[in-house]
């Protein structure tokens, strides 16, 4: 095309105007934002208390604790006693247990936190007490809606040796539950060494 002719100049001018308008239009639209893919691992329901948390919350209250060291002879005669207060915290998501006991004539205090992880689909607990500076972490499941919770973790003895810890929490009724602690003995076989009965104060 001859751009020196009137027709050529008009064609050139039209082309320039077209490209200029296209550039302005693209500028007005701005950079295109990538599509946001929803996180399928985190839903609104996963952050809220569900039936598992509601069942745990029923334990809230004050209890008398009876602690038996079942591996020892005359476990019933040497049982220790104490008190426990269980509170619901963080909008029903967790329960916190605070204990004050007298064990073999010595005062012992402890704190435990229990919850159910909606995403991992498991019960989780941490345990601390004045007999140690360690925090014990436990995880587990239940096959009966929380009436029996089976937890496992690892603890250390005074020599720093790691040993498995197995805890079973069994809800007897609305006013009583029992916690049994087990570990492997010298023969490698698991056996119960402590049983604590919680009875709600009247």
Average pLDDT over residues 97-121: 95
Residues in the chain: 202
Confidence of residue 115 (pLDDT cuts 50, 70, 90): very high
Dist. CA 103–CA 68, nearest whole Å:
10
In the chain, where are the structural domains located?
49-200
What's the pLDDT at 43? 54
Instruction: Report the relative pairing of strands 106-117 and 176-184 from DSSP bridges.
Output: unpaired
Q: Report the mean per-residue pLDDT for the chain.
A: 83
Tokens 């006013």 map to which residue? 175
Q: Lowest mean pLDDT of 16-20, 48-52, 74-78, 97-101, name the range.
A: 16-20
pLDDT at 11: 46
User: Are the C-beta atoms of 150 and 170 separated by less than 8 Å?
Assistant: no
Cα distances from 160 to residues 1, 69, 111, 171, in angstroms, run 91, 22, 22, 33
Summarised one tens digit per residue, pLDDT across range 150-194 is: 999 998 877 778 889 999 999 999 999 999 999 987 778 899 999
Between 7 and 123, name the one with better pLDDT. 123
Beta strand pairing call for 61-68 and 190-200: antiparallel
* DSSP run (H or E) holding 111: strand 106-117
Compute the distance between CA of residue 168 and CA of residue 148 in angstroms, rounded to an integer: 7
Measured CA to CA, the distance from residue 52 to residue 92 in angstroms comes to 10
User: What is the share, in percent, of the chain residues with pLDDT greater than 70?
Assistant: 78
Quote the CA–CA distance of 51 and 148 in Å, as a whole number: 14
Question: What's the CATH number of domain 49-200, 3.40.50.11540, 3.50.50.60, 2.40.128.20, 1.10.3720.10?
Answer: 2.40.128.20
pTM: 0.75
Question: Which of 18-32, 42-56, 135-149, 158-172 has the largest mean confidence?
Answer: 135-149
What does the pLDDT average to over 12-28?
Answer: 41
109 forms beta bridges with 100
> In the predicted model, is pLDDT for residue 3 greater than 60?
no
Averaged pLDDT, 34-50: 64
CB 81 within 8 A of CB 65: yes
Specify the pLDDT at position 28: 47
At 114, give phi and psi (nearest 5°).
-120, 145
Q: d(Cα 25, Cα 80) in Å, to the nearest integer?
A: 81
3-state helix, strand, coil in the chain (%, to 5): 15, 45, 35
| Model confidence pLDDT, tens digit, residues 130-141 | 999 999 999 999
User: How many Å is the maximal CA-CA distance in the chain?
Assistant: 117
């Amino acid at each position: 095309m001859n751009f020196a002719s009137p027709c050529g100049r008009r064609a050139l001018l039209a082309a320039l105007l077209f490209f200029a308008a296209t550039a302005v239009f693209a500028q007005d639209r701005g950079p295109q934002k990538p599509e946001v893919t929803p996180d399928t691992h985190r839903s609104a329901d996963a952050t809220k208390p569900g039936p598992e948390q509601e069942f745990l919350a029923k334990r809230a209250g004050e209890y008398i604790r009876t602690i038996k060291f079942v591996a020892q002879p005359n476990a019933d005669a040497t049982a220790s006693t104490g008190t426990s207060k269980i509170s619901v915290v963080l909008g029903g998501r967790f329960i916190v247990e605070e204990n004050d006991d007298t064990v073999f004539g010595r005062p012992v205090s402890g704190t435990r936190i229990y919850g159910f992880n909606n995403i991992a689909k498991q019960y989780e607990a941490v345990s601390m007490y004045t007999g140690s500076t360690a925090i014990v972490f436990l995880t587990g499941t239940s096959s009966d809606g929380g009436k029996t919770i089976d937890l496992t973790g690892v603890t250390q003895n005074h020599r720093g040796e790691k040993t498995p810890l197995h805890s079973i929490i069994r809800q007897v009724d609305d006013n009583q539950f029992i916690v049994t602690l087990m570990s492997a003995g010298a023969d490698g076989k698991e056996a119960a060494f402590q049983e604590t009965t919680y009875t709600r104060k009247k």
